[in-house]
């Protein structure tokens, strides 16, 4: 098996570099904040391409935390089917009769950068070793799909099937797949967890060596080929998920097996942006009950960070955005105060410090603006403040702050996918929704049938949607 050593590929290479130096700073200077949980601790510098594991992977069964009692799976499955008409018995028959065969189904194909997607009949080959073929029931649109579809500033890779936030059901599994089976409910994740590499074995990291996001790769790892074709012409994959297709083939390490009772039309949004923001607050910033949290950027990721602050019991959640139109929506997410940097003559970090008697306890940056990143760090209180960077900066950005800001016991961290390990942790995030601890409905502002997928792009491009659910087969 050929090893791929990309970091975040083009859009994230620089971000990764920045994060490397940020982690370097942290390990040298950060003061650890209270909780003994190992994943909170400053990580050592992440190494690129050092690990040389090759050959077949072995996937142990899921841990108790993420494995569900099999005895009541059937009941849950039928409850779920009542709730979700798309998972009808016809799909189950199709699943059992199609294993090992090529499936013809509909997919939204991007033939060219920035041109509307075209619903085509595609052939989807059976899964190979360590792969799973999944029937997608619901998918949603994220900025990353739009960014790569526009293909501005990157090497374009077309024709391609985009999509990476989704929920589906396993149709068939390839050789060596032992912990997923026909009928399992899964969320595809753009970055994987092989469970074998140093990152996967570390409690501190979720940056799997084998399955870390690679936006340049349009083929499967196993044989370097695509599983999608139209009349023999290969159609490329996107981040190993390609969920804008009724059936798709995904590496088993990029699939989180979830509670089959969870409604896939809601929990599908946990595949990417919402988990990223939520985890940035809950896993990395870790506000204590009653503390203040500033969230920079009130897009989907920032609103999810605010949701994390609400769940953690923050006393004040201060939203910072340049776009005042975001403030009204953000009230639903428990944001209590709003600051628009444009309304002030002084740097926003000074405004926040004045509002909070010296600085906020935690800040989570979800903008991608280097200025906001610096402000987010400099607005945290000395002695205990923690700032977490989530946004992906531009290629030439450099993070500049006076080292005294670190010496004065402020901590700066960065996070990728909210520090969640996709297979180990995402099933637990789904349970937070099932327990009504986490609210997902408020993120879902629109829905469209698959045949109108281009409308979802329009809504996002015009800033009208947080998340638009696309119903497959409709
Ligand atoms: P979005 O565009 O919907 O929201 C960003 C918000 O930031 C906007 O409301 C914008 O007005 C605001 N903003 C921009 N510059 C600002 C500034 N200087 N000060 C205050 N507000 C400012 O984006 P999103 O989908 O919510 O994603 C947010 C960021 O997170 C992006 O950079 C995205 O690439 C990144 N991201 C990172 C990860 C990760 O794993 N680290 C994962 C997904 C997304
Ligand atoms: Zn791994």
Partners of residue 105 on adjacent β-strands? 122
For the chain, give the percent of residues with pLDDT over 90.
74
Residues in the chain: 474
Residue with CA closest to ligand 1 atom 18: 372
Are 297 and 367 within 8 A, CB to CB?
A: yes
Least confident of 32-36, 86-90, 414-418, 452-456: 32-36
Q: What's the whole-model pTM score?
A: 0.82
pLDDT digit string, tens, across residues 267-276: 999 999 999 9
Q: What's the confidence (pLDDT) of residue 64?
A: 32
Active site residue 105: no
Q: What's the confidence (pLDDT) of residue 88?
A: 39
Confidence band (pLDDT; 50, 70, 90) for 96?
Answer: low
Active site residue 37: no
Stretch 320-347: mean pLDDT, rounded? Answer: 95
Least confident of 45-59, 121-135, 397-411: 45-59
Q: What's the confidence (pLDDT) of residue 474?
A: 75
Please pick, among 208, 254, 366, 379, the residue that the annotation labels catalytic: 208
pLDDT surpassing 50 at residue 376: yes
Confidence band (pLDDT; 50, 70, 90) for 92?
Answer: very low
Q: What is the mean pLDDT of the chain?
A: 84
The radius of gyration of the chain from alpha carbons, rounded to an integer in Å, stands at 22
Tokens of 89: 């018995």
Q: Which residues surround ligand 2, an ion (CB under 5 A)?
A: 194, 197, 200, 208, 210
Stretch 298-320: mean pLDDT, rounded? Answer: 97
Query: Which residues have C-beta atoms less than 6 Å from ligand 1?
Result: 143, 273, 276, 296-302, 320-323, 326, 341, 366-369, 371-372, 390-392, 415-417
Confidence band (pLDDT; 50, 70, 90) for 156?
Answer: confident
pLDDT digit string, tens, across residues 428-462: 999 999 999 999 999 999 999 999 999 999 999 99
Q: Please give the C-alpha separations between residue 140 and each of 78, 178, 334, 461, in angstroms, as whole numbers.
A: 24, 28, 24, 14
Stretch 189-197: mean pLDDT, rounded? Answer: 96
Please pick, among 185, 191, 193, 194, the residue that the annotation labels catalytic: 194
Q: What's the confidence (pLDDT) of residue 152?
A: 81
Distance 210 CA to ligand 1 centre (A): 27
pLDDT digit string, tens, across residues 137-150: 999 999 989 999 99
Q: Please give the C-alpha separations between residue 335 and each of 208, 354, 367, 436, in angstroms, as whole numbers.
A: 33, 18, 16, 19
Please report, to the nearest 10 degrees, the dihedral formed by the alpha carbons of residues 362, 363, 366, 367 taken in order: 180
Distance 296 CA to ligand 1 centre (A): 8
Active site residue 272: yes
Are 250 and 180 within 8 A, CB to CB?
A: no
The DSSP bridge pattern shows strands 228-230 and 103-109 to be unpaired
Please classify residue 54 by burial: count the beta carbons closer than 10 Å to its beta carbon, then call 0-12 exposed, 13-18 middle and 19+ buried. exposed
Looking at all shown ligands, the one closest to residue 59's CA atom is: 2
Looking at all shown ligands, the one closest to residue 295's CA atom is: 1
Active site residue 131: no
**Residue of 9, 19, 23, 143 best suited for mutating to test ligand 1, as the one with most atoms within 8 Å of CB:** 143
């Amino acid at each position: 098996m050929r090893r791929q050593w990309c970091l975040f590929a083009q859009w994230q290479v620089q971000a990764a570099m920045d994060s490397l130096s940020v982690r370097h700073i942290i390990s040298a200077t950060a003061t650890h904040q209270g909780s003994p949980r190992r994943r909170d601790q400053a990580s050592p510098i992440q190494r690129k391409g050092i690990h040389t594991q090759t050959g077949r992977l072995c996937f142990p069964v899921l841990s108790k935390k993420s494995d569900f009692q099999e005895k009541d799976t059937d009941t849950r499955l039928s409850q779920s089917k009542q709730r979700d008409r798309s998972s009808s018995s016809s799909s189950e028959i199709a699943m059992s009769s199609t294993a090992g065969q090529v499936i013809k189904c509909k997919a939204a194909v991007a033939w060219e950068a920035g041109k509307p997607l075209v619903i085509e009949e595609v052939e989807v080959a059976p899964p190979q070793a360590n792969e799973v073929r999944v029937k997608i029931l619901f998918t949603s649109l994220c900025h990353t799909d739009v960014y790569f579809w526009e293909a501005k500033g990157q090497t374009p890779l077309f024709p391609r099937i985009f999509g990476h936030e989704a929920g589906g059901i396993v149709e068939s599994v390839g050789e060596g797949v032992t912990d997923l089976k026909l009928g399992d409910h899964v969320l595809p994740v753009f970055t994987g967890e092989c469970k074998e590499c140093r990152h996967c074995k570390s409690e501190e990291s979720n940056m799997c060596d084998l399955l870390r996001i690679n936006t340049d790769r349009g083929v499967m790892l196993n044989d370097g080929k695509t599983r999608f074709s139209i009349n023999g012409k290969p159609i490329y994959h996107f981040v190993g998920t390609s969920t804008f297709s009724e059936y798709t083939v995904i590496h088993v390490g990029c699939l989180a097996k979830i509670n089959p009772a969870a409604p896939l039309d809601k929990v599908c949004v946990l595949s990417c942006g919402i988990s990223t923001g939520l985890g940035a607050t809950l896993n990395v910033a870790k506000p204590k009950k009653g503390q203040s949290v500033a969230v920079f950027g009130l897009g989907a990721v920032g609103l999810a960070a605010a949701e994390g602050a609400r769940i953690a019991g923050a006393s004040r959640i201060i939203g910072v955005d340049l776009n005042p139109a975001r403030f009204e929506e953000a009230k639903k997410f428990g944001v209590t105060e709003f600051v628009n940097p444009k309304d002030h003559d002084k740097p926003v970090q000074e405004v926040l410090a004045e509002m909070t008697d010296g600085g906020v306890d935690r800040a989570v940056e979800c903008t991608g603006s280097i200025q906001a990143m610096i402000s987010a760090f400099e607005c945290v209180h000395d002695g205990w403040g923690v700032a977490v960077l989530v946004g992906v900066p531009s290629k030439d950005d450099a993070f500049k702050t006076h080292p005294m800001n670190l010496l004065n016991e402020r901590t700066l961290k960065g996070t990728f996918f909210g520090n969640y390990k996709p297979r180990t942790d995402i099933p637990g995030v789904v349970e937070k929704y099932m327990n009504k601890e986490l609210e997902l409905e408020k993120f879902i502002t629109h829905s469209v049938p698959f045949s109108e997928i281009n409308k979802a792009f329009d809504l996002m491009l015009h800033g009208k949607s947080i998340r638009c659910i696309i119903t497959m087969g409709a």
